[in-house]
Structure 1
Amino acid sequence: MLRNEVISWDTASRQGGRQFNADAVGASRDGESVVFALADGIGDSIWAGEAARVASGVAARTSTAAGPVEAVLAAQRALEALNTGSDAVLVVAMPYADGYQVAWVGDARAYTWDGVELKQVTTDQTMAEYFRLHDSVPTPRMEHVVTNSLRTTSEERIGRATVTDFKSLLLSSDGVHKVVSPETIQAVLAEQGTSTLSRVSTLVDTAMVLGGTDNATALLVSTR
């Protein structure tokens, strides 16, 4: 797909009610392919923003031959080298064969849309998800407590998936997907006659309209 299809991609971000925008995206060409990454710095500080920028940039510049798990580990090493104690969650999408390989830590997400159905590719690494897996009811606060991050992860704890046969690939921070419903995300991606920039901007603006106070960032890759 990636070698035979023309792709377009764009990104949008809103600061929300935070003092700093600690979300960041990275995109880097590797041969004929483009690697994408989205990071969400933990906390509302200049250091959280720096952690996200460094992590997303390093991950996106990782060779496709190394794979997305190595991209996450490279981002981890980069944060350790900062020596600020700052942390982030991260999702990476790397071209592979006729689709993408995805790797993640924390609650940054990836979705695919095939023209009909929106599918969540990632599984949140949060306290809420842990409770649900153990047949318990989480509190709302648990949705925002991550159980894995760049500083705490090990290779075996990095989430991974492979996706194929889609029209759009969406990476998002929790300021988008924990405010905007899957049904609304799908409706935005299904809009006809709109550009990739228009759709991704609508997603983050919708998060603000619906009362989101967190940083809201999304990166949308579309085939055409």
Structure 2
Amino acid sequence: MENTEIKIKYAYATDVGCVRELNEDSLFCSNNLWLVADGMGGHACGEIASQIAAETIAREFMGSGDLVRAIELAHSNILAASNDKVNQQGMGTTVVALTCKQNEYFVAWVGDSRAYLWDHCRSRLTQLTEDHSLIVRLVKSGLISVEEAQKHPQRHMITQCLGSVEIEQIKIDVNQDVWQANQQILLCSDGLSDELSDQEIARILKTHTDKLDKINALIEAAKSAGGRDNISVVLIDSPIVKKPSLFEKIKMLLKIQ
């Protein structure tokens, strides 16, 4: 689906993938909040956890404007829901969320759902988030190489998520910067990033111009690579619109003629 009515334009899609029977990802997209939550816990529990996260964060953020506080509250609500029903114990979810204020963007996350910055003019893809995972810890400590990490048997093990009871308090990481023209931010669950390298993602973003075409191509590529998990993608345009130069206007006129 695509939104074209507001100042900041975006598109999004989610797919169950090729292996899973249930889509446990949840999305939320609005005028000033976009998020991807990737649930876990087996059966319908992951779906419940990601829905609680999306609904709580949206409601709290719309009321307070505090994204970090909204994520903290989602963590508390998932823990409470886990204690209410035996079959929901142990459920949890990752989350990555984006909000904007004028020409600034603010990304917050827990787990291994990711945000990327795509700069079309430079054909450059930059990961804005750092996975909360065992592999990242091993690489940063020098115990394994980046190449070894890509094939490590525990590469999917995350160190924290919303709803986690193993840690006293979750750590919400944030990244903020200023938008530039011709940029997009990509939010995704690990169903995309586990199947496609950064180089493959960048190639697809460069190949297509329409946001929905980009998203559909990313999802299809992830499915072709195995589609072993649910795949969710949100793509948000920079609110900074660069006016065409006189030379660019002449080129466009000549093309029309």
TM-score range for the pair, normalised by the shorter chain length: 0.7 to 0.9
Give 1:97 deviation, angstroms.
Answer: 4.0
Identity among equivalent positions (%) equals 27
Residues 115-134 of structure 1: CA deviation (Å, up to 9, x unaligned): 12111000000000010111
Residues 29-88 of structure 1: CA deviation (Å, up to 9, x unaligned): 4xxxx2011100014421111111221222233336533211211211221232322100
Opposite residue 186 of structure 2, the aligned amino acid is L
SS in 2 for 1:183: helix
- TM-score scaled to structure 2, two decimals? 0.77
Partner in structure 1 of residue 176 of structure 2: 162
Q: What is the CA–CA distance in structure 1 between the aligned matches of 2:60 and 2:175, rounded to whole Å?
A: 17
SS in 2 for 1:143: coil
**Structure 1 unaligned regions, length at least 5:** none
Q: What is the CA–CA distance in structure 1 between the aligned matches of 2:25 and 2:187, rounded to whole Å?
A: 12
Partner in structure 2 of residue 186 of structure 1: 202
Say which one has the larger Rg: 2
Partner in structure 1 of residue 56 of structure 2: 58
Give 1:141 deviation, angstroms.
Answer: 2.5
Q: What is the CA–CA distance in structure 1 between the aligned matches of 2:50 and 2:227, rounded to whole Å?
A: 20
Partner in structure 2 of residue 120 of structure 1: 127
- TM-score scaled to structure 1, two decimals? 0.87
CA RMSD in angstroms, aligned pairs only: 2.1
Opposite residue 174 of structure 1, the aligned amino acid is D
Residues 129-188 of structure 1: CA deviation (Å, up to 9, x unaligned): 010111011562322000011123666721111032341011001010111111121122
| Residues 110 and 155 (structure 1), Cα distance of their counterparts in 2 relative to 1, 3 Å cut | farther
Partner in structure 2 of residue 176 of structure 1: 192
| Residues 98 and 156 (structure 1), Cα distance of their counterparts in 2 relative to 1, 3 Å cut | farther
Preserved contact between residue 73 and residue 155 of structure 1 (Cα < 8 Å): no
Partner in structure 1 of residue 108 of structure 2: 103
- The count of aligned residue pairs is 215
| Residues 141 and 163 (structure 1), Cα distance of their counterparts in 2 relative to 1, 3 Å cut | farther
Q: What is the CA–CA distance in structure 2 between the aligned matches of 1:44 and 1:142, rounded to whole Å?
A: 18
SS in 2 for 1:146: coil
Residues 172-213 of structure 1: CA deviation (Å, up to 9, x unaligned): 010101111111211222235x42122111111110011121
Opposite residue 174 of structure 2, the aligned amino acid is R
Alignment of structure 1 residues 1-150 onto 2, 5 Å: 6-16=7-17, 17-29=19-31, 34-63=32-61, 65-83=64-82, 84-85=88-89, 86-115=91-120, 116=122, 117-137=124-144, 138=149, 140-150=152-162
**Structure 2 unaligned regions, length at least 5:** 1-5, 83-87, 242-257
| Residues 183 and 38 (structure 1), Cα distance of their counterparts in 2 relative to 1, 3 Å cut | same
Name the structure where strand makes up a greater proportion of residues: 1
